[in-house]
Amino acid sequence: MTDYGIDVSHWNPVNDWNAVRGNGITYCSFKLTEGTGYTDRTSGPRVPAARLAGVVPGGYHFARPGNADAQADHFASHLRQNNLHTNGSLAPMLDMEAAELRGTANDFVPRFIARLRAATGVHKVLVYANLDWFTHVLNPGKWADDGVLLWIARYNGNPGNPGWTHPKLALHQHTQTGTVPGIGGSVDRNATIGQFALSHLTINGGNAPAPQPVPPTPTPPTPPTDTEIYTVRAGDTLSAIAARYGTTVGALAALNGISNPNRIYAGQKIRIRGGTAGGQRYQVRSGDTLSGIAAKFGTTVAALASRNNIANPNRIQAGQWLTIP
């Protein structure tokens, strides 16, 4: 059974944790710290409220270039302050996405984990990154021991199925524009993967399930003829690239597995178009209309109805999956 959760920072106003829990959300990772000096002051007061509503809380640290030991100590201090180092809490998470860490990431991660374990006594640690990092930067074989689980960001609209596999891959952040009752605006939504469950993600919870055989990697399909790749230059922004090619920031981020549209780096390869036709999927939520979905993805009601064999565009239902043309 898939377990659903969220991760939040000061950008996400939470008004009603009981409503959040009522939406099937069972866990939440709160941003606590960043680098060696930043603390998200909104998280502390919200942790007890989440726990009281039955949402399992945990904390995460956004890694920056610099001293890994000092960052781990900073994070550990706030885990203890918020009782997020205790049994039953969601395991602490290390967020690896700062472009400046790409060249040293596989040295930073194990050092941070070792120091965090020494400072908190917590053995289980989650390591979060997007698809690009897991395929081109991070080497879990170097540092993912029996206490490390992986958390991937890939916004493909298919919860629990990120399209990338690893024996320790336990969580999938499948959207950054999710909606949850009790939370104002968009929020990151997450789902457990395969045999992993919430119990495997908590401190002193169950052991991770035995790794399943990984099927052979299929030969990648030939890219569509309209595929175009853009190499990011110094000073580029994703919004400027989107405007130049007549697309949207959301479409580029989804197509390229970019978790933070504000962070791209010179030399990065951005797919502008191609590979999405008939492939991106969206699950209808309560209150959705076909016209609203069409506007969100830059298409038309007629195109959506035709692609999904919808006879009456005024009748769609929550939970229904749509393929975006």
Query: pLDDT tens digit string along 105-132?
Result: 999 999 999 999 999 999 999 999 999 9
In the three-class reduction of DSSP (H, G, I as helix; E, B as strand; rest coil), residue 51 is classed as helix
Domains identified in the chain, total number: 3
Q: What is the pLDDT, as a whole number, of residue 211? A: 61
In a domain, 306, yes or no: yes
Q: Which domain holds residue 185?
A: 4-201
Question: CA 57, CA 72: separation in Å to the nearest integer?
Answer: 19
Q: What is the pLDDT, as a whole number, of residue 278? A: 41
Partners of residue 8 on adjacent β-strands: 30
Instruction: Identify whether residues 148 and 32 lie together within a single domain.
Output: yes
pLDDT of 297 above 70: yes
In a domain, 211, yes or no: no
For the entire predicted model, the pTM comes to: 0.67
Instruction: Identify whether residues 197 and 125 lie together within a single domain.
Output: yes
In a domain, 17, yes or no: yes
Where is the domain boundary, 237, 254, 273? 273
Q: What is the pLDDT, as a whole number, of residue 207? A: 74
Instruction: Identify whether residues 145 and 237 lie together within a single domain.
Output: no
Instruction: Identify whether residues 150 and 12 lie together within a single domain.
Output: yes
Q: What is the pLDDT, as a whole number, of residue 210? A: 65
The CATH number of the domain holding residue 286 is: 3.10.350.10
Mean pLDDT of 260-289: 73
Instruction: Identify whether residues 248 and 297 lie together within a single domain.
Output: no
Partners of residue 56 on adjacent β-strands: 27
In a domain, 15, yes or no: yes
Instruction: Identify whether residues 183 and 144 lie together within a single domain.
Output: yes
Instruction: Identify whether residues 100 and 240 lie together within a single domain.
Output: no
Instruction: Identify whether residues 234 and 186 lie together within a single domain.
Output: no
Question: CA 54, CA 108: separation in Å to the nearest integer?
Answer: 34
